[in-house]
């Protein structure tokens, strides 16, 4: 199932119930381009009708309550960023439960001992079997050691013990390699987001 739909509501409606959702905004506040103050982001999200809005760090991570589906929330935030804040940006939204499930499914957790060097990439849709096999073949070679990359469903897990900037795949464009848009956060950030998000 593409991550733009809610498993609880196959028809895309949120059923009126409030769910805790987490938005990951791509590419903002990197250098001098696409600057967005987190206070402005919180104000915009509140204006869209979302509740208990919080942000973490300056890299575009927001937690809030919403009654709309993930797909509708994604579209609304992207429109708000472009129209209200003048910053077009790709947004990926997951429910708190979906983020927790992705963290629990980590296939390299026993090896990853530093949350700052352990990453989870959220894909906008599930890759094909062919793509999964190609990534597995690419990353299982000895040339990639000690770095590890694994695809599970619509998530990419990375372990870079020497830091991501020194990783063997530091220059890999995962969007191009996968053929699917993705946004990535390290384990420390994700566990803090889940802790901040109400049940």
Same fold, 19-96 and 100-196: yes
Listed by start position, the domains of the chain span: 19-96, 100-196
**Weakly modelled stretches of the chain, pLDDT under 70:** 1-15, 141-142, 199
- What are the φ/ψ torsions at residue 38 (nearest 5 degrees)? -65, -30
Kindly report the pTM of this predicted structure: 0.87
CATH number of the domain at 19-96, please?
Answer: 3.30.70.1280
The crossing angle, in degrees rounded to 10, of helices 38-47 and 70-83 is 120
What pLDDT does 5 receive?
A: 38
| CATH architecture for segment(s) 100-196 | 2-Layer Sandwich (3.30)
Cα distances from 133 to residues 138, 152, 167, in angstroms, run 9, 11, 21
pLDDT digits (tens, 9 = 90+) for 54-98: 999 998 999 999 999 999 999 999 999 999 999 999 999 999 999
Q: Where would I find the beta strands (DSSP E) of 70-126?
A: 91-95, 118-123
């Amino acid at each position: 199932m593409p991550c733009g739909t809610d498993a609880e509501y196959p028809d895309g409606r949120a059923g009126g119930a409030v769910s805790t959702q987490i938005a990951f905004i791509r590419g903002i506040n990197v250098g001098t381009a696409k600057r967005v103050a987190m206070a402005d982001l919180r104000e915009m999200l509140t204006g869209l009708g979302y509740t208990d809005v919080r942000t973490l760090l300056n890299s575009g991570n927001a937690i809030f309550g919403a009654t709309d589906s993930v797909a509708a929330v994604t579209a609304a935030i992207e429109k708000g960023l472009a129209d209200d804040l003048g910053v077009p940006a790709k947004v990926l939204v997951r429910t708190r439960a979906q983020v927790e499930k992705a963290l629990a499914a980590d296939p390299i957790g026993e090896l990853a001992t530093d949350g700052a060097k352990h990453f989870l990439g959220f894909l906008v849709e599930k890759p094909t079997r062919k793509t999964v096999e190609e990534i597995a073949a690419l990353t299982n070679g000895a040339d990639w050691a000690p770095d590890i990359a694994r695809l599970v469903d619509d998530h990419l897990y990375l372990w870079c013990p020497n830091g991501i900037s020194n990783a063997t795949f530091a220059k890999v464009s995962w969007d191009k390699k996968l053929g699917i848009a993705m946004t990535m956060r390290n384990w420390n950030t994700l566990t803090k987001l889940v802790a901040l998000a109400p049940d």
